Amino acid sequence: MTDRPRRALLSAYDKTGMVELGRALVDLGWELVSSGGTARVLAEAGLPVVPTEQVTGFPEMLGHRVVTLHPAIHGGILADRNDPSHVADMATYDVVPIDLVAVNLYPFSSEPSVELIDVGGPTMVRAAAKNHAHVTVLVDPADYDPVLAELRDAGDVSATTRRRLARDAFAHTAAYDSVIVDWFDRGDAGELAPSPGHESRGQLPPTIHLSARLAQPLRYGENPHQHGARYTFAGTSCWDSAVIHGGKEMSYLNVYDADAAWRLVWSLGSQPAAVVIKHANPCGAAIGDDIAAAYVRAHECDPVSAFGGIVAVNRPVTHAMAEALAPVFTEVVVAPGFDDDALLVLLEKRNLRVLTVPEPVVPTLDVRSVEGGLLVQTRDVVTVDLSQWEVVTDRSPTEAEWADLEFAWRVAARVTSNTIVLAKDGQAVGIGAGQQNRRDAGRIAAEKADGRAVGGACASDAFFPFRDGLDAAAEAGATAVIQPGGSVRDEEVIAAADEQGMAMVFTGERHFKH
C-alpha cells in the first residue's frame, strides 16, 4: 500500500477550478476518482479518471440518488491508516485509501426541492472531515490553490491545514442542513404536524438552526476595544451586494445604524423619502417631491442630532441632494444609486462612507441574544389599512391629517420605545425616542418640533395611559392623533381629544421597539 499512488475523489456541483485541480494532482502523481458530470468534465479535459462504478462495482442508480454510498468509497475515506485492524479490513475487502476529497453540494437554496437534497455529497464531506488526520477535504474552490501549493512545496498537506479544512467542511454541511430545515419550517415541503410539546408554537419552529458566514470584518465593535464583524445568512442580506464607493471602513455601529436607516426609508411608502439616523433612532424623516427636497426636510427635523448621522434615501442621489448633504458632517450615506456628478461631490468628503445598496429583504424572524440563548419573534410588520383603523372621536381626520397620521405611524414603529412622533406635511418635526415614560417622550418631541407641529399629526407607539400625553400633543399644535388604544383610560383620553377638537384614530396594534 505504501507504493500506491495517492487517490483523490473529485465530485462537485460547482466545478470552478476542478479541471485545474485534477490536472495539478495528476502532475503530482495522484490518481483521480470521479462520477457523473465531474468525471465527464475531467475526461473531456484529457485527464485520466477512474469512474466510481469501477471502484464500487455498481453503476449509478435510482436517478443518481445512489452513486458513492458504498464501503469501497467510504472505507477508503474513513480508514485510520495507523490502526492495524483498519489496515487489515482494507486488505481483506480490497479497499483503496482515499487521501483527498473535493466535494461541494447541490445548490439546494437555488431551487429547493426533494431532489436537490444532497445525500452522498454531505456523507463524503463529513467522512473526510472526521478522518482529517489522514484525509484532506475541500469544499471551497478557493482552497484548491493553497492546498496544491503545500503539496508541491512539502509533498503533503499539513495537519494544521487539514484541521482547518475539516472545520470548514462541517460548517459547510451544517449550513446546508440549516437551509433544508428552514425550507421545511416555511411550509414549502408541505404542512408539518406539530412537534410534541410545541402544538401551540404558532409561527415559531421548535428548533432554530442558524448558519452565518463571515461577510465583512469591521473596524471595531460597538466600542474601539471590541472586535466586530458582520455575518450573513446565505442569500438573504442586501449588505452582501453593497458597493462602497468611498470613505473609511465601516464600524459595527455604522452597519447597525445604516441597517436601521435602510429599513425605515423603504417603509415610508412609494414617494421620494429620506431619513437621518443617530444611535439607531431617526432624528429626521421626510418625503418630498424629489430626493433632494426629501433630504433637506429630513435634516430640518433635528439638525443638531443629525451631526455625525447616517442618511438613507430610497431614490438615486442627485447632484442637488449631494450639494445639500456635503456641508453636513455625515458618517454614511446609503442609496439605491448615485448620479455620476453626485458621486464626484460626495467623494470629496474623504471620511464619508458612500454606499449603493439594493432594496432590503425583510427576514421572517427577529433574533437577538440573551444569556445562554436567543430571544426570537416574528417580524413587526407595520400594517397601514385605513379600513381597519377606527376613528374614535367626534371629528374624523381631514385628508391632509390622514396622510400625516399614516406617515407618523410608520416612523413611530421604527423608533425605540417609548416614543412620540410629531409630523406635518410628510415631515417629522419632533421625535421623542427611548424614554422610560410617554410623557417625557412627548415633551421631547414637542421641544424639538418648536411650533412646527401646528395642524399636524401625533403618533404614539403604544396607548396613552393618561390624558396628559394627549394634552401635550394638543399643546404642541397637533390636531390629529394615532395610537393603538387599549388603555383602561381610553374613554378619558378620547374625551380629552374631543375637548380639544382633535381627531383620533385607534389602530388596535402597538409597535414597541427595544
List the catalytic residue out of 86, 130, 209, 248. 130
CB 385 within 8 A of CB 373: no
For the record, the C-alpha cell of 37 comes out as 458530470
Torsion (CA) 192, 195, 200, 202 in degrees, nearest 10: -40
| 3-state SS class at 379 | coil
Backbone φ, ψ for residue 97 (5° rounding): -60, 145
Q: Where are the alpha helices (DSSP H) in 354-415?
A: 399-412
Half-sphere exposure of 165 (CA within 13 A, CB side): 31
For the record, the C-alpha cell of 127 comes out as 467522512
Q: What is the DSSP string of 127-145?
A: HHHHTTTT-EEE--GGGHH
d(CA 422, CA 404): 9
Q: Is 279 annotated in the active site?
A: yes
Amino acid at 159: A
Backbone φ, ψ for residue 137 (5° rounding): -115, 130
d(CA 293, CA 280): 23
Report whether the peptide linkage leading into residue 418 is cis, meaning its omega lies within 30 degrees of zero.
Answer: yes
Strands (DSSP E) along 237-305, which ranges? 243-246, 273-278, 281-287
CB 506 within 8 A of CB 405: no
Q: What is the DSSP string of 332-353?
A: EEEES-B-HHHHHHHTTSTT-E
Q: Where are the alpha helices (DSSP H) in 378-431?
A: 399-412
List the catalytic residue out of 86, 209, 248, 279. 279
d(CA 181, CA 473): 48
Half-sphere exposure of 376 (CA within 13 A, CB side): 15
CB 169 within 8 A of CB 137: yes
Please name the residues in contact with 461: beta carbons below 8 A apart, sequence gap of 6 or more: 412, 413, 415, 417, 418, 419, 484, 510, 511, 512, 513
d(CA 510, CA 514): 13
Amino acid at 165: L
Tell me which residue has cell 428548533.
Answer: 207
Task: Report the first-to-last Cα separation within the chain, whole angstroms.
Answer: 64
Beta strands 365-370; 373-378: pairing state: antiparallel
Short-list 429, 382, 118, CA closest to 268: 382
Could you list the active site residues?
130, 279
